[in-house]
A and B are shown apart, each in its own frame.
Chain A
Amino acid sequence: MLKGHLDAIVLAALEAGPAHGYAIIEAIKDRSGATFDLPEGTIYPALHRLEQAGLLESEWMTPPGGRRRRIYSLTKAGTAALAARRTAWDRFSRAVNTLLGGGRPWPA
């Protein structure tokens, strides 16, 4: 189930600013309270797919005294795609919450 939403989760993780793969997976673990414990490598096909789709861009950077890393950031299209996926998810989760949480009675 999580894999179906991985692209949106990665986009959301990059909303705060550019980051490299390891930082993205750490951010996802932190923000989900370690609920999402995917194999860390799963993130790389998603990053590559999103970059190919023009939703992310990346470049190699070497911080002073640090390790060379590929840094990913959202493109304008990525920001728009995140907003669209967020809206779709809100609608979907409200509907499921209503069904599971007993918010409204089932049609008779």
Chain B
Amino acid sequence: MAGVIDTYLASLRQDLAFDPALAQRLAEEVECHLREAAEADADWPSPDAERRAVERFGLAREIAAQLARDAVERQARRTWLTVVATLVVTFVAMRLRVMWLEDLGEAASAVAPLVDRYAFVAAVSVAAVGWLAFRGSVLLLAVCLGGLAASIAAGFVRASLFAAGAPLGVLLPAAVEFALVGLLAWHVAGLGRRLRQTAALRRTVR
């Protein structure tokens, strides 16, 4: 039959399931703490000594909720850092494409340049609003991501990079912006997942 400490550790692992590595690390550390606390109890060894150690430690779900909130903050910081990097690289890549097309004498569709430019402007505007007032908003980040993806796709269509034999100075920034927008999508999805997990833990702590 599982002891009080073992039951508590199982509950902690379950509540920290959003981060298996952290769950493993913390469960080991907390086990060490609880066993030491129980052994310091006058009634050791007994289930009461274990129970008192667990009671002094606090609810597993509250600890998991705090760790989940910290994880959301870290994920949000990473996501915003990626937003800034993607905006800068997209702007540089766009300018390089435009300069190259001007040298060639651009003869692309009328729609692609407009989407390229205004989707980027929309992404910058949404990012600015999000940064100033709603840093935890996945919706704004998703809109910003959509704007950047549309701008990059339109830029690719506008320049027909590979078909037109673009130079490395144009292809390389295009590859980097493509990779960054993928990374941003991954971070935005991760932030959304972490926010959902934190909200679920908060609901059950209350």
Q: Which of A's residues lie within 8 Å of B, judged by CB?
A: 20-22, 38-42, 44-45, 48-49, 52, 67-70
B contacts with A: majority SS:
helix
Q: How far is the CA of A67 from the CA of B30 in the complex (A)?
A: 13
Would B58 and A39 count as touching, CB distance under 8 A?
yes
Contacts A40-B57, A44-B29 known; A67 to B63 CB distance under 8 Å?
no
A to B CB contacts below 8 Å, 14 in the list: A21-B29, A22-B32, A40-B37, A40-B57, A41-B30, A42-B58, A42-B63, A44-B30, A45-B66, A45-B70, A68-B32, A69-B29, A70-B25, A70-B28
Would A41 and B63 count as touching, CB distance under 8 A?
yes
**B36 at the A/B interface (Cβ < 8 Å)?**
yes
Question: Smallest distance from the beta carbon of A73 to chain B beta carbons, Å?
Answer: 15
Would A39 and B35 count as touching, CB distance under 8 A?
no
A41 contact set on B, CB distance < 8 A? 30, 57-60, 62-63
B32 contact set on A, CB distance < 8 A? 20-22, 67-70
A69 contact set on B, CB distance < 8 A? 29, 32
Q: How far is the CA of A71 from the CA of B57 in the complex (A)?
A: 19
Would A22 and B37 count as touching, CB distance under 8 A?
yes
Contacts A40-B56, A41-B58 known; A21 to B70 CB distance under 8 Å?
no
Question: Smallest distance from the beta carbon of A37 to chain B beta carbons, Å?
Answer: 9
B63 contact set on A, CB distance < 8 A? 41-42, 44-45
Q: Which of B29, B32, B58, B62 has the most CB of A within 10 A?
A: B29
Contacts A21-B29, A68-B32, A69-B32 known; A39 to B62 CB distance under 8 Å?
yes
Would A40 and B70 count as touching, CB distance under 8 A?
no
Chain B: which residue is nearest A67 at the CB level?
Answer: B32
Contact with B70, one of A20, A49, A70 (Cβ below 8 angstroms): A49
B22 contact set on A, CB distance < 8 A? 48
Question: Smallest distance from the beta carbon of B198 to chain A beta carbons, Å?
Answer: 13
**B193 at the A/B interface (Cβ < 8 Å)?**
no
B58 contact set on A, CB distance < 8 A? 38-42
Question: Smallest distance from the beta carbon of A101 to chain B beta carbons, Å?
Answer: 34
Would A39 and B57 count as touching, CB distance under 8 A?
yes
Q: How far is the CA of A70 from the CA of B27 in the complex (A)?
A: 12
**B96 at the A/B interface (Cβ < 8 Å)?**
no
Q: How far is the CA of A41 from the CA of B67 in the complex (A)?
A: 11
Would B26 and A44 count as touching, CB distance under 8 A?
yes
Given contacts A45-B66, A48-B22, A70-B29, 12 further A-B contacts (CB under 8 A): A21-B32, A22-B32, A22-B33, A22-B37, A39-B59, A41-B30, A41-B60, A41-B63, A42-B63, A44-B30, A69-B29, A70-B25
